[in-house]
Amino acid sequence: MLRKFTIMAAVLALSLAFAGTAFAGKTLINGIDANYPPFAYVDKDGKPAGFDVDAMEWIAAKMGFTVKHKPMEWSTIVQSLVSKKIDMVCSGMSITEERARQVSFSDPYWTVAQVFIAKKGSGLTVEQVFTGGKKLGVQSGTSEADWLDKEKPNKPEWNYTVRFYDSAPLAIEDVINGRIDAAAMDIAPAQDAQRVKPIEVVGSFTDPEYFGIAVRKEDKELLETINKGLALLKADPYWEELKAKYLGEKH
């Protein structure tokens, strides 16, 4: 009898915990970049993985819903969110003014610098990337691509040429094989690649950015739910485990 009462009490407590959540028991789709390690990528077994993937799995479990991760074309992922093909984007997305006009963002959860990378031993400087007639690679649809496009017309001395890529790792490969001289990207994939590939971070450009989880403007309750889950995650030891696992940060 006592055991039955204990089980019933546990079920009641769980139902009460999610009673005010409109998403309890629902499945939501998270759009991700398929090749943005260590935050989001498809692993060798074809499964979504990464810091943001695991973080959102934890948030979903804590807040009572199920999440499925859908790899998508990054340059159109905001449009896919707005058109309701997905429900959120938790995939190393920088909070920018342009994006914020179309979608709402969660509280920031990560700070990231924008950097140039080059082949190890290149001796390049940030100034040389801008003014040395270099071939520069960048992932299309990213905040760094938008920044370069916006700023270059105001800098007549900047004489680099741009090649666009579907992902930062593809640009890194072309740096290594000599097709381009440098690549612009967030520091996270640069540092991830630097552990195993012959590249180096040349230096940073523009101001640091902040990652946030994107939802549709009208999905205010989902945004509130995600923010609550994000706060719980950052206060939990699992947050430090994620940083150690994917970003090499020790407890």
Q: Are residue 163 and residue 142 in the same domain, yes or no?
A: yes
Question: How do beta strands 114-119 and 182-186 pair?
Answer: antiparallel
Residue 130: name the closest of 180, 185, 182 by CA. Answer: 182
The CA distances from residue 38 to 80, 97, 116, 245, in Å, are 23, 25, 18, 9
Same domain (yes/no): 59, 100: yes
> pLDDT category, 73, cuts 50, 70, 90?
very high
Stretch 220-232: mean pLDDT: 97
Task: Tell whether 8 and 97 lie within a shared domain.
Answer: yes
Q: Are residues 139 and 169 in the same domain?
A: yes
- How confident is residue 75, by pLDDT bands cut at 50, 70 and 90? very high
82 and 132 belong to one structural domain: no
- Mean pLDDT over 71-82 rounds to 96
Q: Tell me, yes or no, whether 10 and 52 share the same domain.
A: yes
Is it the case that residue 249 has pLDDT exceeding 90?
no
Global confidence as pTM: 0.84
The residue among 215 and 19 whose pLDDT is bigger is: 215
**14 and 89 part of one domain:** yes
184 vs 8: which has the higher pLDDT: 184
- Say whether both 101 and 216 belong to one domain: yes
122 and 12 fall within a common domain: no
**Residues 92 and 120 grouped into a single domain:** no
pLDDT tens track for 137-177:
999 999 999 999 999 999 999 999 999 999 999 999 999 99
Question: Number of folded domains in the chain?
Answer: 2
Tokens of 213: 């989880």
C-alpha 15/C-alpha 68 separation (Å) is 22
Q: Return all residues near 241 (Cβ < 8 A) that are at least 6 apart.
A: 251
- Please give the backbone phi and psi of residue 211, each rounded to the nearest 5 degrees, phi first: -85, 140
CATH of the domain at 140: 3.40.190.10
Report pLDDT for 178: 97
Cis peptide before 38 (omega within 30 of 0): yes
Q: With CA atoms as reference, report the closest residue to 90 among 101, 82, 81.
A: 81
Q: Which domain holds residue 19?
A: 2-111+210-247
**Amino acid 21: pLDDT:** 61
* Domain match, 46 and 94 both: yes
pLDDT of residue 63: 95
pLDDT of 52: 98
- In the chain, the DSSP E strands lie at 27-33, 35-36, 40-42, 48-49, 66-72, 88-89, 103-105, 110-112, 114-119, 135-139, 161-165, 182-186, 199-204, 209-211, 214-216
Same domain? For 137 and 159 the reply is yes
